[in-house]
């Protein structure tokens, strides 16, 4: 039995007229009659009583119409769901982000915009270091991730650097520089610096060290922090100063002050790494939203 036979039967059963059913499905009456007879022959039962020009469902026909409607409804629902999934309107999107990226207004806006456009896509968020996010992408445990440099290139993962955030100096609340609010980095040369190990997946330490050397001093390393958020807690504890992305400057306002850096080339790149975006429309849609919104935050060309 083919689905078309069920569709033909449903039309005749609901119209109780071969003529009207043929017009409804855009088919000539004689072929439709032949298809109904073929279905009856296959089942070995009569589906209609033919009383002159009028037809009625038999007991077998009455049972079959209920099942036929249920089957065709399921087929139509499955078809609609498959098409919606193919267009990225439903499904699941596994998105990773670093601890600092979770505070970025850009990331917030990307996720907010995506959710507004595709509300029926389930977004599962995972927070990890960049290196671990990259490994999860390669293992197909994530579809996309908001990351910081460095990210080692890989044929299975692409990265699009989207925004460049300014960096600020985080100092303890009682630091003498707090009164100035705007400082040059060399003003902090006598303070112990809190940096982040490269193995933690952050390239910000290299930038800070290079900038200090450019300004004529080698910073004294007071502590290494595994995460940017941990570095701010270390600052709050009076263990030193740190240079962090500006998006994090609302953290620990009870114990930390954030100073604007002038004459500094320091910035924090934020990008979207993803598996092959052609695999699913959900990934393509997220990449497109992020690329479009990056213009409002200072877009960067290239992947």
**Would you kindly state where each structural domain of the chain is located, as residue ranges?**
3-86, 93-160+269-297, 163-267
How many residues are recorded in the chain? 303
213, pLDDT greater than 70: yes
What is the pLDDT at residue 176? Answer: 93
What's the pLDDT band for 76 if we cut at 50, 70, 90? confident
What is the pLDDT at residue 180? Answer: 86
Interval 239-260: pLDDT, tens: 999 999 999 999 999 999 999 9
273, pLDDT greater than 70: yes
What is the pLDDT at residue 175? Answer: 94
What is the pLDDT at residue 256? Answer: 95
Contacts of 175 (CB under 8 A, 6+ apart): 191, 241, 257
CA distance 127 to 95: 9
Percent of the chain with pLDDT over 90: 49
What is the pLDDT at residue 200? Answer: 44
Burial (CB < 10 A; 0-12, 13-18, 19+), residue 77, is exposed
Average pLDDT, stretch 253-278?
86
CATH of range 93-160+269-297; options 3.40.50.2300, 3.40.1190.20, 3.40.190.10, 3.40.50.80: 3.40.190.10
How far is CA 165 from its chain centroid?
21
What's the pLDDT band for 237 if we cut at 50, 70, 90? very high
Whole-number average pLDDT of the chain:
87
Q: Please check whether the two domains, 93-160+269-297 and 163-267, share a CATH topology.
A: yes
Instruction: Look at 174 and 302; give whichever has higher pLDDT.
Output: 174
241 neighbors 280 (Cβ within 8 angstroms): no
What is the pLDDT at residue 302? Answer: 39
What is the pLDDT at residue 226? Answer: 84
Instruction: Name the packing angle between helices 18-25 and 3-15 (round to 10°).
Output: 130
What is the pLDDT at residue 31? Answer: 92
Interval 127-141: pLDDT, tens: 988 888 989 998 889
Average pLDDT, stretch 169-196?
92
What is the pLDDT at residue 277? Answer: 57
Instruction: Just give the CATH number of 3-86.
Output: 1.10.10.10
Interval 133-173: pLDDT, tens: 989 998 889 999 999 887 776 777 888 899 988 899 999 99
Interval 13-54: pLDDT, tens: 999 988 899 999 999 999 998 999 999 899 999 999 988 778
What is the pLDDT at residue 197? Answer: 67
Interval 58-72: pLDDT, tens: 999 899 999 999 998
CATH of range 163-267; options 3.40.50.2000, 3.40.190.10, 3.90.1300.10, 2.60.40.10: 3.40.190.10
What's the pLDDT band for 201 if we cut at 50, 70, 90? very low
235, pLDDT greater than 90: yes
299, pLDDT greater than 70: no
182 neighbors 168 (Cβ within 8 angstroms): no
Containing 164, the helix (H) or strand (E) segment is: strand 157-172
CA distance 65 to 59: 10
85, pLDDT greater than 70: yes
């Amino acid at each position: 039995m083919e689905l078309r036979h069920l569709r033909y039967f449903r039309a005749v059963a609901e119209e109780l007229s071969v003529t009207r059913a043929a017009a409804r499905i855009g088919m000539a009456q004689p072929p439709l009659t032949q298809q109904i007879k073929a279905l009856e022959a296959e089942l070995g039962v009569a589906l209609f009583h033919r009383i002159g020009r009028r037809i009625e469902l038999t007991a077998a026909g009455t049972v079959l119409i209920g099942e036929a409607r249920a089957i065709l409804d399921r087929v139509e629902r499955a078809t609609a769901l498959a098409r919606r999934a193919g267009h990225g309107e439903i499904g699941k999107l596994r998105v990773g982000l670093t601890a600092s990226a979770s505070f970025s207004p850009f990331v917030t806006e990307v996720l907010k915009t995506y959710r507004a456009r595709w509300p029926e896509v389930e977004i599962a968020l995972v927070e990890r270091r960049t290196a671990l996010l990259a490994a999860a992408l390669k293992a197909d445990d994530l579809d996309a991730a908001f990351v910081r440099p460095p990210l080692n290139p890989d044929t299975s993962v692409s990265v699009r650097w989207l925004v460049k955030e300014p960096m600020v100096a985080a100092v303890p609340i009682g630091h003498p520089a707090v009164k100035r609010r705007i400082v040059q980095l060399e003003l902090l040369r006598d303070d112990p610096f809190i940096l982040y190990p490269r193995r933690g997946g952050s390239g910000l330490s290299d930038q800070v060290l290079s900038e200090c050397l450019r300004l004529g001093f080698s910073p004294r390393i007071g502590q290494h922090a595994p995460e940017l958020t941990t570095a701010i807690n270390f600052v709050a504890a009076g263990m030193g100063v740190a240079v962090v992305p500006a998006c994090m400057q609302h953290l620990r306002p009870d114990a930390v002050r954030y100073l604007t850096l002038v004459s500094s080339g320091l910035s924090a790149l934020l990008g979207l790494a993803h598996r092959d975006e052609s695999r699913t429309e959900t990934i393509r849609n997220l990449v497109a939203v992020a690329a479009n919104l990056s213009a409002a935050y200072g877009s960067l060309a290239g992947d």
